Structure 1
Amino acid sequence: MSIALPVDIDQIKGFLAQDEGEALYQHAQQSCKLGPVLEVGSYCGKSTVYLGAACKGSDNIVYAVDHHRGSEEHQLGEEYHDPDLYDSSVELMDSFKVFRASMRAAGLEETVVPIVASSAVASKGWNTPLGMVFIDGGHSEEAAQTDYRSWVSHIKPGGILAIHDIFPNPADGGQAPYNIWKLAKASGLFEELPMVNTLGLFRRK
């Protein structure tokens, strides 16, 4: 399918394939009728544009949870380090300025609510039922498990859980997202939906 997005999505840094983004858009468009959408791991806002554009039409919102200090693989000296996002004054990654610029360019500042914090912090005392949760945060085992435990219980019946970077074969990629995908599958809470590329999808029973 072809989706009319408010910006040239290829100009936004990120690792989301087009078919995965379009699947997020389709599911968000339906599930935001149940409640807000929440994503973990916004980076520079590529996935957020897909989710935000889908929710804007229904006058709903996207909570975008990210500490904006980068995942393990984004750090100095690592494989996916981007020097343009490195703040040498504090010797840390900082993608928030670029994220905000992406939301401004897409006209989504009144649709997307940035939460600059980790899952563990952002989820403390969380009470808002969610129509969809998209997990694409840190790929260490601890980070992925924390993201899963923090948000899955807040998905309303009929809502969607989406998990990015599912690689059953360890030679293709890290296993932490795949491990929480297996948790969701074994939990009895979800109906498994067809995968889209590396995007695992479930519907809450």
Structure 2
Amino acid sequence: MTDLPEEGWLSSDQIARLAAAGARPRPAGAVVEIGSFRGRSAVVLARAAGSVVAIDPHAGSDRGPQEIEADAARGDSDFEVFHANLARFGVADRVRHVRSFSADAHGDVTGPLSLLFVDGAHRFGPAREDLRDWGRRVAPGGVMLVHDSFSSIGVTLALLAECAGSARWRYVGRSRSLAEYERRVDAPTAGERARDVARHLAELPWFARNVAIKVLVVAGRRRWAERLGLDPDARWPY
């Protein structure tokens, strides 16, 4: 998909993974994304899955690196651009926007989920709540995709706490920082859970590299960050 909103953090390989998850057969249930920003992922999911519930308060907070605090003007601008992009890319009738924080939006979505895309607040507490509370609503055989995995400290710690070796989730793999999980149908064996923990731990060197790159970028040492593998045309290692 090349005709997408330019704003956003999804790379081309992440877009392909998200689209593939949306297009393939899944159990019955809603498709939900947490964190929409200006609509890049919502357009991908709406096209691939047919419809999506997009949950984002558009409060101007948690919208990107170093943009954590709320800013009403910034949030309203994102809200307007988000809806303009839905119309521009022909999916306005396939996206239902819930302008709310994810913790307050459970009543706006009924029944189980077939696909959950999590790209909300990246601090440990809110990220863990999304994985735990929204994740438990994914039907067996369903899919959860999590952005900024093994890149953001908060998201990574939340994944290790909620998903590594879980009886609920099987780690499928990742495209850069977009991790994919399958909701287990049957209870895993002890060996399967141990292997899943090992697969998560194997990602930690890549996580450490990403954290180091971010520190160097913030410190103004971009050339050093590029030596660690940062794309010269990118700002952050997503």
TM-score w.r.t. the length of structure 2 is: 0.69
Return closer, same or farther for 1:116/1:32 CA change in 2, 3 Å cut-off.
farther
Aligned length: 181
Asked whether the 8 Å contact 1:34–1:131 carries over to 2, the reply is yes
Kept in 1, the 8 Å contact 2:26–2:141? The answer is no
- Deviation of the 1:191 alpha carbon: 1.8
- CA displacement at 1:106 relative to structure 2: 1.4
Q: Highest CA radius of gyration, 1 or 2?
A: 2
Please say if 1:26 is aligned against 2:20: yes
> In the alignment, is residue 140 of structure 1 matched against residue 123 of structure 2?
yes
Contact 2:61 2:67 in 1 (8 A): no
Inter-partner Cα distance in structure 1 for 2:34 and 2:79: 14
CA–CA separation in structure 1 for the residues paired with 2:39 and 2:63: 18
What are the residue-to-residue correspondences of 1:75-90 with 2, within 5 Å?
79-80=66-67
As a proportion of its length, which structure holds more helix? 2
Change (3 A) 1:109 1:25: same
Q: Which structure's relative contact order is higher, taking Cα pairs within 8 Å and 6+ residues apart?
A: 1
What pairs with 1:179-190 in structure 2 (closer than 5 Å)?
179-182=157-160, 183-190=162-169
Conserved? CA contact 1:64–1:113, under 8 Å: yes
**Residue 120 of structure 2 contacts residue 127 of structure 2 at CA under 8 Å; is this kept in 1?**
yes
Q: Aligned equivalents of 1:36 and 1:124: distance in 2?
A: 13
Map of 1:165 onto structure 2: 148
1:93 to 2:75 alignment = yes
Partner of 2:34: 40
| Structure 1 length-normalised TM | 0.79
For the Cα contact (< 8 Å) 1:31–1:131, is it kept in 2?
Answer: no
AA paired with 2:75?
Answer: M
Task: Note the aligned Cα RMSD (angstroms).
Answer: 2.3
Answer 1 or 2: which has greater strand percent: 1
- Once residues 132 and 171 of structure 2 are traced to their aligned partners in structure 1, the CA distance between those partners, rounded to angstroms, is 18
Match in the other structure for 2:154 = 176
Q: Which amino acid aligns with 1:154?
A: R
Paired position in structure 1 for 2:90: 107
Give the % identical residues. 28
